[in-house]
Amino acid sequence: MLESLVFYTLAALIIGFGVLVVTTRNPVHCVLCLVANFLCVAMIFVLLAAEFLAMIQILVYAGGIVVLYLFVVMLVNLRRPPDARMDGRRQTRFGFVLVALLLTEVSAILVYSAAHPSSLVAVAPQRPAVGNAETIGMLLYTDYLVPFELASMLLLVAMVGAIVLARKEA
């Protein structure tokens, strides 16, 4: 009962803030709606018993990536006032058609899979013996060690690339 209430509230907030992100004019308000969206998604992760992922979402996404976006928005808006004109060349109708196609396809898949449940059926969820962080740690360092090392290389390359790109030509 409480879970349904929390889920529907969070879902409404996520969709609401998502729509606000794609429709707001002011980029700073857009970024704030994005932060609120990410925090609500983190709470959805807590509902799904993925509390480590929820904390990573807040720490990296809401606390790191969106701060980066906010910095860039302010550095770029520093000299120009926010433009109040409507964007002239956007492709609204094509965008809506594409989204309608996407939603049709996804709902078709959902309805089909609900009608034909596969062998991977849900059992009663029980609390795992070890905590969430330990489980992910075990997997990350044994089964998925190579992707883990590759991800760290990727982050190093991205860090060097970002520094080189954003550096002023002295």
Partner 1 sequence: MTHTYLVPLLKILVLLNAVLVSVTFMTLLERKVIAWVQVRLGPMRVGPYGSLQPIADAIKLLLKEDITPVRADRFVFTLAPIVSMVPALIAFAVIPFDREATFFGYQVPLVIADVNVGLLYLVSITSIGVYGIILAGYASNSKFPLLSGLRASAQLISYEIAITMMLVSVVVMAGTLSMTGLVDAQYNARVWYVFVQPLAFVILFIGGLAETNRAPFDLPEAEQELTGGYHTEYSGMRFALFFLAEYANMIVVSGVAATLFFGGWLRPFPNVAALWILDYIPGWMWFLLKTFVFLYVFIWIRATLPRYRYDQLMRLGWKVLIPLAIANLVVTAVLKVLL
Partner 2 sequence: MTPITPYHYLVLSAALFAIGVLGVMVRRNIIIILMSIELMLNAVNINLAAFSYQLHNAAGQVFAIFVVAVAAAEAAVGLGIILAFYRNKETLNIDDMNIMRW
Q: Taking CB under 8 A as the rule, does residue 108 contact partner 2?
A: no
d(CA 1, CA 169): 59
CB of 116 to partner 2, least distance (A): 13
The minimum distance between CB 67 and partner 1, in angstroms, equals 6
In angstroms, the Cα distances linking 128 to 93, 105, 131 are 48, 35, 7
70 interface partner picked from partner 1, partner 2, none, CB below 5 to 8 A per type = partner 1
Residues 6+ apart with CB under 8 A from 18: 33, 37
Q: Tell which positions 9-38 bind partner 1, by CB under 8 A.
A: 26, 28-29, 32, 35
**Contact letters for partner 1, residues 52-91 (x by CB under 8 A):** x--xx-xx--xxx--x--xx--xx--x-------------
CA distance 70 to 84: 19
| Least gap, CB of 3 to partner 1 (angstroms) | 14
H helix or E strand, kind and range, residue 110: helix 92-115
Beta carbon nearer to partner 1, 13 or 55? 55
